[in-house]
Chain A
């Protein structure tokens, strides 16, 4: 502790002790007035101080040594002005507690020390005799001290105290005023600087530039030598320094954990902090061990938006004498939230910018044509792929209606339906679109609504050229067909010579048997049986390759299981007997009807039974047929179990059992014969029909094979997403195909059950889009359509069907609770039925539209029995129901009993001839709707033609038409009838 010692040289100048030379009272008062005027006129604190000491030096007042100290924040006194103290500099600092003048500061009162030399608490300075210390106070707060000294002891009198008190008072006043002015001005300047800063920052949206600008501004604003800016990474919960200025090294990239170092602390506390001596601060991060030269004091603040941490900012002084004060802190606290918002904005903008750029790059380079539309369908933007695909430039396409731009007449309505849907829901499809040059391309298309805050603002449409893809698909399909044809031909070519080999060896064998040539008999039998084996192989290989190629078709028919079992048992009996086995058949008589491929079921049963007899000797083989509830909600399954008491199989053998060419052992083939393909084929067949084959076996005990086939193999074999099996029209037999479009699964189930019971094939779709897709794929004979469906509703589906040339001929029957027949018929519905549906009514309607099925009833009015029998056979073989009337009267009776879809009419008949029949028919509007085809041997006269004119669909001359002519005539009549229904509302019977 060393007290400050002033080296003050006070000149004695030969004056007397205790007496000072001074002017008259008037002179003194005048000097004081001058002094007060001067002080009042001072513009700042320094000026006030200077004028106070200068004024007191006036000769009239007689003070020689004067100093004016102001208090620093820590209580030290700092010399702001002096007279006669030639040995101390301005801003000379006296620590709090030192010196005589400290007392005046401590109690806020004037202190007079008549003899400085006697003061023990004060180390006497040279030549100071006496001293007066007067505090300067503003609002009762001491802000400084005026010190007046004399070389002589006892140099001052109460009159001096009065003068000095007065001077101290108005000096205090002037200083208070000056300080207020400075702080006001500083605040104004700060506000301006802050405003400038913010204006500057808010214009900067590029994040990296902004971060440096923020830091630069902060450094300038706070008048510091350096600083750092860090942003908070929420993912890693770390601060990352992104900009630094004026410290030893660029600290950018430094990671600070929460709580680490100064910025880490403020990030946790959410409060700013000042660190006067950073080098000694215990909380310093080790990452900042080397910045001593540039960082002395640190002031740090979190960057917050509300309570959310965005980052932290630090400002640093390199000058060890400078520290941060309340003003600095206040300024930083003003700055920090603004900086936080500017950074956050730039971050959001940058990430939005990045996303936008990413999206634009994708769109620009996408091979998919992308176009955006107004809600009304006009084009607002398009990508280069769109230009390439359709051939239109931006100038040509922008503002145009997209659908009109890229559609011909045929596809416009369909495209409109997609666009309409895309205003509120994603739409997808495949279709043909037109290029600028008029060529058509196949495209896969998608339309999606663009919504902003729940508002539909437009549509985005995508087109992908699938022309090549479809071409490749069709090429592959035709190649596959060629392969199938090759297989079919090959099998024919192989079997023809085999036929001869087997036949001749059989004949020769018979001859040899008759002539008793036993040696030849055995050899000829070897040729014959080898031929048979080869034939079986060829058949199996052919079957298998057809299955693999997906070309094996199901020919479904409904049959009584009992009959097929009897047939199979008879066929297999010789085989059973060959190994001295017995066959037990268990089959209840009332098992019901099975809808499946009869030939394949037969082949499967024969395969398993011949296997069983092959691997069993002197044993029992049983065939049991039963029914069991189906695993998946279907009606119920048929189970065919073939049990034998033969050699059985091990677990390993069973594993490979159903693979092609995999008999239990290679040697088995030699010993037991067979192709090794039977089980593989059996398994595939059962799977095609939606069933399965299982086996249980025990070596030495026997095996049980069980075939499971669903009651309706057709419904079961068509998984909803798989392509529909293409059935030969001839094999479709009696069934019309009906597409049921309804979003209610319970309705679909009811319809399926009902329609299948009536012999229809049913395809289901649970919504408008799926329905359209399904209609295109399956080409049903009729469609039943619900109106109220989510997404694409029934009206939209109906419009799209009627707009598609490929679908327009399919009759659509509306099944709905919505009572708007007028709209339905105007959109092209064939029939309009209200829910709840009257099943009989629906059946009648569907029967009328169910295409070439048994549901088409033909009324044949013909008196000649051979002719009617021949025509009946032809028609029935095509699956029609035929009612025969022998004359016109019978014809009318039959018509009334059950209205037909078509009438074949002879003209020359007894009782009531064809002309009269027609007239009677035409008198009823309902009956006159049914098309009539005249089949006659009569040479028609012009008068006859007039009578028939407009009343019949066609005239066929007996003997002049072939069976095919007749059938195609009928088909075309029915086709044209469908079209009639689209233009006129039909009468619902």
Chain B
């Protein structure tokens, strides 16, 4: 099954989303801040990254740029998750290099749909 890197600093969100993804059959690893997320993405093999945008150390946009500019990670699907349900955030996330975008609170079905699409090569 697909390996997912979930970069999320909020414990509740992390716990909730990881449990639901695991329940759906994903293998989930977790990073607690942007820098850790970049580190893990560079050193491990993931099929998809779920990236919160408001993160400590370095934020999600910056983390995404760093991952994108690392060798071999130009094409890995990254879905931005943000509570800033504001217009403009989508463009901002896409500009940073994200493949897709979803707002929090997460609607699990919608998120799963986007993940499936990206993993099946729709990128």
Contacts and interface: CB of A to CB of B under 8 A. Distances in A.
Contacts of A731: 88, 91
A962 B87 CA distance: 26
B34 to A, nearest CB: 14
A654 B25 CA distance: 51
A506 interface: yes
A499 B105 contact: yes
A683 to B, nearest CB: 18
B66 to A, nearest CB: 8
Interface in B39-63: 54
Contacts of B84: 488, 492
B69 interface: yes
B88 A728 contact: yes
A198 interface: no
Interface string A474-516: 0000000000000010011001111110111011000000000
B69 A870 contact: yes
A746 B91 CA distance: 37
B16 A495 contact: no
A555 interface: yes
A495 B104 contact: yes
A500 B105 CA distance: 8
Given A731-B91, A877-B94, A503 B83 contact: no
Given A506-B108, A866-B74, A555 B13 contact: no
A730 B68 contact: no
Contacts of A492: 54, 83-84
Contact of A500 (B16, B74, B86, B92): B16
Given A500-B16, A507-B16, A877-B94, A870 B83 contact: no
Contacts of B123: none
Interface in A532-547: 535, 539
B91 A499 contact: no
A495 B83 contact: yes
B13 A963 contact: no
Interface in A870-923: 870, 873-874, 877-878
Interface residues of B, number: 30
> Binding site of A, secondary structure by majority: helix, strand, loop or mixed?
helix
Contacts of B69: 870, 962-963
B76 to A, nearest CB: 13
Given A496-B13, A500-B16, A962 B65 contact: yes
Contact of B105 (A491, A495, A730, A878): A495
B74 A535 contact: no
Contacts of A491: 83
Contacts of A504: 12, 16
A553 interface: yes
Contact of A507 (B20, B88, B94): B20
B105 A503 contact: yes
B13 to A, nearest CB: 6
A595 to B, nearest CB: 15
A502 B95 CA distance: 30
A877 B95 contact: yes
B10 A730 contact: no
A535 B91 CA distance: 23
Interface in B92-106: 92, 94-97, 104-106
Contacts of B117: none
B105 A502 contact: yes
A731 B13 CA distance: 29
A628 interface: no
A726 interface: no
A431 B108 CA distance: 56
A597 interface: yes
B30 interface: no
A28 interface: no
Contacts of A157: none
A872 to B, nearest CB: 11
B85 interface: yes
Given A499-B13, A539-B85, A870 B105 contact: no
A318 to B, nearest CB: 99
B104 A499 contact: yes
Contacts of A650: none
A599 interface: yes
B12 A597 contact: no
Contacts of B31: none
Contact of B16 (A503, A597, A730, A870): A503
Nearest to B95: A877
B74 A555 contact: no
Contact of B88 (A499, A502, A730, A874): A730
Nearest to A495: B83
A54 to B, nearest CB: 130
Contacts of A962: 65, 69
Interface string B65-90: 10011010010000000011111101
B53 to A, nearest CB: 11
B17 interface: yes
A751 to B, nearest CB: 29
A599 B83 CA distance: 16
A891 B6 CA distance: 42
B95 A499 contact: no
B13 A730 contact: no
Interface string A859-871: 0000000100110
Contacts of A733: 91
Interface string A288-329: 000000000000000000000000000000000000000000
A600 interface: yes
Contacts of A730: 88, 91-92, 95
B55 to A, nearest CB: 13
B13 A500 contact: yes
B74 A870 contact: yes
A733 B13 CA distance: 33
Contacts of A502: 105
Contacts of A869: 74
Contact of B106 (A499, A598, A866, A877): A499
Interface in A415-457: none
Contacts of B16: 499-500, 503-504, 507
A866 B69 CA distance: 10
A600 B95 CA distance: 20
A495 B83 CA distance: 7
Contacts of B95: 730, 877-878
Contacts of B74: 866, 869-870
Contacts of B68: 870, 873
Contacts of B104: 495-496, 499
A539 B104 CA distance: 12
Contacts of A874: 97
A491 B85 CA distance: 9
Contacts of A507: 16, 19-20
Interface string A931-968: 00000000000000000000000000000001100000
Given A503-B13, A730-B92, A962-B65, A496 B83 contact: yes
A555 B87 CA distance: 7
Contact of A963 (B65, B86, B90, B106): B65
A753 to B, nearest CB: 27
B12 A500 contact: yes
B116 to A, nearest CB: 17
B108 to A, nearest CB: 7
Nearest to A727: B88
Nearest to B92: A730
Contacts of A497: 12
A600 B85 CA distance: 12
3 A-B pairs with the lowest CB-CB distances in the bound complex, closest first:
A877-B95, A599-B87, A499-B105
22 contacts: A488-B86, A492-B83, A495-B104, A495-B105, A496-B12, A498-B105, A499-B83, A500-B12, A500-B16, A502-B105, A503-B17, A503-B108, A504-B12, A504-B16, A539-B85, A597-B87, A599-B90, A728-B88, A870-B68, A877-B96, A877-B97, A963-B69
Given A496-B10, A873-B68, 4 more contacts: A495-B104, A503-B106, A503-B108, A730-B92
